[in-house]
Amino acid sequence: MDSQRFDALTRRWGRGSRRQALAAFAAGLGGRVILAPDAEEAAAACKGPNARCKRNADCCAGDGLRCVKVGKSKKGKKRRKRCRCKSGTCPPQTPCCIGGKCQPYCADEMGTDLCCADCFVEILLNGNPDLANPVCCQASGGTICGPKKKKQSDDRCCYPSESCVKGTCCCDGCKGATVCGGDECCAQDVCCNGKCCGDGKVCATTPDGPMCVSANRPCDECFEGEECHAGVCCPQERRCVNHIGVEKCCAVGEYCEQPGHPSGGCCDINTTCYGSYKGHRVRR
C-alpha cells in the first residue's frame, strides 16, 4: 500500500471535526437536539493541533488543546503560539499527549496499553491497515527503519527477525533474504563472498570457490547444490512444488513461501504472499 492510500484510509477511519461529531449526535437523537448557532460556529471555528493561535479559545478544547508557546526564545523575538496539548488535558479516548497532539493508546509486545510516539499498524495481506491493533515499535522488539531520516511517513517498523539495512527491513535468514556483508540485503542464493551478485547472477559453489555466475546456465553447467529444472540450473533456495507435485524453479529474487500452493508458492524475497498474516508495519 502506498503512503497516499494509507493516509486516505486512516483519515477516513480517524476522528472527524467537532462540527461533524456534534451534528451526528444530534441526528442520532432524531433531531430532538438542535445546536445553537453560536455553539455550532464555535465548534467549526476552533483550530486543530499545531495551528497558530493567540489564546486558548482559538483551539479545540474538546480535543484537549491549549494555546501554548513553542520553539526556543530568541533575543528580541516573541515565541510563536500554536494549539498543542498538555499532559492531563487530553480526553479519555485519546489520552496520550505526543508531539502536541492527543493520541490514543498504543501497545507493547504483551498487548499492554501505553503512550508511544512511534506507534505502528500492520498492513494485512489484503492491503488494509490493522487499525484495531496498533503496536509500539521499540516496546514490541522492533526497529524503526526508513529510507529518509526526516520523512517519518515512509518509516517501517522492522520485526524482531528483521534488520534495517539502508532504509529497508531485511529478513536476515528468512523470507528468502539475507544481510550480505553486513550492509546489503539480497536473496540468499545471490550473496557471494560478502557482496550481492549483479542482476541475472547467482552465487554458485564452483571448483574455484563461491562465484557469481549467470542464473540461466544450461544443465550441463550446474554446480554443487543445483539441479536441472526446465533446462536450467536451479539452486535449493528457489525450488518449489505446487499442489499436484510439479516442481518449479522460482525466479531470481524470489523464494518458495508456500510449497503446495496452486500458484506455485513463489514470492518476492522479504515479502509474504501466501502463508502468513504479517506483511509490514507503517506509522499509524
Give pLDDT, residue 214: 92
Give pLDDT, residue 9: 42
In percent, the amount of the chain with pLDDT more than 70 equals 81
Cα angle vertex 253, ends 249, 256, to 5°? 45
pLDDT(2) > 50: no
What residues make up the domain containing 263? 196-268
In a domain, 93, yes or no: yes
Give pLDDT, residue 63: 87
Give the rounded distance of the alpha carbon of 241 from its chain centre.
31
Give pLDDT, residue 10: 44
In a domain, 41, yes or no: yes
Cα(117)–Cα(105) distance, rounded to whole angstroms? 10
* Most confident listed range (209-218, 223-232, 245-254, 260-269): 209-218
> What pTM was estimated for this model as a whole?
0.64
Q: Which residues contact 20 (CB under 8 A, 6 or more apart)?
A: none
In a domain, 226, yes or no: yes
Give pLDDT, residue 278: 65
Identify which has the larger pLDDT, 108 or 72.
108
Cα(284)–Cα(280) distance, rounded to whole angstroms? 12
Identify which has the larger pLDDT, 43 or 272.
272
- Among 81, 104, 127, where does a domain finish? 104
Please count the residues of the chain: 284
In a domain, 180, yes or no: no
Domain count for the chain? 2
Cα angle vertex 15, ends 12, 16, to 5°? 80
Cα(43)–Cα(92) distance, rounded to whole angstroms? 19
Q: Which residues contact 49 (CB under 8 A, 6 or more apart)?
A: 63, 65, 83, 84, 85, 100, 101, 102
Cα–Cα separations (whole angstroms), residue 183 to 42, 156, 157, 164: 55, 18, 18, 9
Q: What is the average pLDDT across 91-102?
A: 90
Give pLDDT, residue 35: 45
Give pLDDT, residue 96: 93
Cα(224)–Cα(271) distance, rounded to whole angstroms? 28
Give pLDDT, residue 157: 93
In percent, the amount of the chain with pLDDT more than 90 equals 36
pLDDT tens string 181-198: 989 999 999 999 999 999
Q: Which residues contact 217 (CB under 8 A, 6 or more apart)?
A: 232, 233
Give pLDDT, residue 145: 92
pLDDT tens string 16-41: 333 333 333 334 444 334 444 554 55
- Among 84, 104, 124, where does a domain finish? 104
pLDDT tens string 101-158: 899 999 988 889 999 999 999 888 777 888 888 999 999 899 999 877 777 778 899 9
In a domain, 172, yes or no: no
Cα(169)–Cα(179) distance, rounded to whole angstroms? 10
In a domain, 2, yes or no: no
Cα(254)–Cα(266) distance, rounded to whole angstroms? 6
Give pLDDT, residue 221: 92
Cα(257)–Cα(243) distance, rounded to whole angstroms? 13
pLDDT tens string 231-261: 889 888 888 888 888 888 899 999 998 888 8
- Among 79, 104, 129, where does a domain finish? 104
256, 238 contact by CB (below 8 A): yes
H or E element that contains 270:
none
98, 115 contact by CB (below 8 A): yes
Place of cell 547472477: 201
In a domain, 212, yes or no: yes
89, 106 contact by CB (below 8 A): no
In a domain, 238, yes or no: yes
